[in-house]
């Protein structure tokens, strides 16, 4: 039975990885990488992890519909107290959880109440947006307003949860399109070459922390539950380039702090935990693979990851 985990975190507990394929966990790859947590984008009754690595649950939505049964969710919460629960994976993306702000607010209220009743020590993470751009922060503003409208109170949030990709926002085009329920036709028109821009990456984090503080969530925990490189090597994203980006983000996460915007309980760090995509993906997004899905051995990028974590 896991013990509740919260900030301040150890260095290992800060590093996480998304698991697209379970077979990549062979040969104790999570231990080799030195990660402290993982996600698999679903609800699981048994821990989906190696010994000593925290598993974080993800409750998926589809147009506001909760994909897992509430009885199943409550039973897991009772059996494994203290777990972190991410509510939705990219509700702002039409081909992911695709939920309007109204739908998200309704589902979040239902899940928050069910989880806290089953396990008062559970920690509930809101958000899950693909990237914290102005357009998607506006989406979350609509979520907060809808919650107030529907339930007559402020939305309770234990942890704020975002992804931090750098992708174009344009209706009907490549990237992450427009959040459901919003009338805009475009937002940030990032280019493919912007995808690993560390200046943009850092600014999006600062902007979201400022958003949190301005809306009454100062001091709350912020996790980046998914980020990485989705573009292919044919687009110019070879392993050395991806590694430079990955290690640059690690340096930023480990050191970025602000006496006003950061979390006081965590030395004013801006971000408490982060999760690279992915351990291994043999399908659509293999560029960031830390493990070869066929051999289950660490890739060159995975070795760079492990060298960093084991030296800090």
Residue by residue, DSSP assigns 251-263 as: HHHHH-B-TTTSB
Q: How many domains does the chain have?
A: 1
Which residue segment(s) compose the domain that 303 sits in?
11-310
Read off φ and ψ for residue 97, nearest 5 degrees: -85, -10
Any domain includes 19:
yes
Any domain includes 1:
no
85 three-state secondary structure: strand
Residues 203, 252: Cα–Cα separation, whole Å = 11
Any domain includes 137:
yes
For 231-259, write each residue's pLDDT tens digit.
999 999 999 999 999 999 999 999 999 99
Find the CATH number of the domain harbouring 218. Answer: 3.20.20.80
Any domain includes 241:
yes
Residues 6+ apart with CB under 8 A from 84: 5, 54, 56, 57, 122, 123, 124, 125, 159
Residues 49, 71: Cα–Cα separation, whole Å = 23
State yes or no: pLDDT of 3 exceeds 80. Answer: no
Any domain includes 50:
yes
Q: How many CA atoms lie within 13 A of 48 on its CB side?
A: 20
For 145-157, write each residue's pLDDT tens digit.
999 999 999 999 9
Report the predicted TM-score, pTM, of the whole model to 2 decimal places: 0.97
Task: Name the DSSP letter for residue 4.
Answer: P
Q: What's the pLDDT at 2?
A: 46
Q: Find the angle CA(28)-CA(34)-CA(39) to the nearest 5 degrees.
A: 75
Q: How many CA atoms lie within 13 A of 16 on its CB side?
A: 24
Any domain includes 6:
no
Q: What's the pLDDT at 6?
A: 81
For 265-309, write each residue's pLDDT tens digit.
999 999 999 999 999 999 999 999 999 999 999 999 999 999 999
Q: How far is CA 135 from CA 139, 155, 182, 306, in A?
A: 6, 20, 9, 35
Any domain includes 3:
no
For 163-205, write each residue's pLDDT tens digit.
999 999 999 999 999 999 999 999 999 999 999 999 999 999 9
Any domain includes 4:
no
């Amino acid at each position: 039975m896991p013990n509740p985990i919260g900030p301040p975190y150890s260095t290992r507990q800060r590093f996480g990885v998304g698991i697209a394929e379970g077979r990549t966990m062979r040969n104790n790859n999570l231990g080799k990488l030195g990660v402290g947590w993982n996600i698999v984008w679903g609800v699981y009754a048994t821990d989906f992890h190696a010994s000593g690595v925290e598993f974080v649950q993800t409750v998926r939505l589809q147009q506001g519909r909760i994909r897992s049964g509430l009885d199943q969710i409550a039973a897991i919460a009772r059996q494994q107290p203290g777990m972190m629960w991410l509510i939705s994976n990219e509700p702002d993306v039409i081909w992911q959880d695709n939920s309007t702000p109204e739908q998200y607010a309704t589902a979040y209220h239902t899940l928050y109440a069910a989880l806290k009743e089953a396990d008062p020590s559970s920690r509930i993470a809101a958000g899950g947006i693909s990237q914290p751009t102005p357009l998607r922060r506006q989406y979350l503003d609509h979520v907060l307003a809808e919650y107030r409208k529907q339930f007559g109170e402020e939305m309770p949030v234990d942890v704020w949860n975002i992804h931090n990709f750098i992708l174009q926002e344009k209706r009907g085009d490549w990237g992450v399109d427009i959040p459901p329920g919003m009338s805009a036709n475009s937002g940030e028109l990032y280019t493919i070459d912007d995808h690993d821009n560390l200046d943009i990456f850092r600014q999006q984090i600062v902007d979201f922390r400022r958003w949190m503080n301005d809306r009454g969530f100062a001091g709350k925990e912020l996790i980046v539950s998914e980020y990485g490189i989705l573009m292919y090597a044919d687009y110019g994203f070879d392993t050395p380039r991806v590694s430079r980006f990955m290690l640059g983000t690690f340096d930023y996460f480990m050191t970025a702090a602000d006496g006003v915007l950061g979390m006081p309980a965590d030395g004013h760090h801006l971000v408490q935990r982060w999760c690279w995509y992915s351990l291994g993906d043999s399908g659509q997004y293999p560029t960031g693979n830390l493990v070869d899905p066929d051999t289950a051995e660490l890739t060159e990028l995975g070795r760079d990851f492990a060298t960093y974590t084991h030296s800090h």
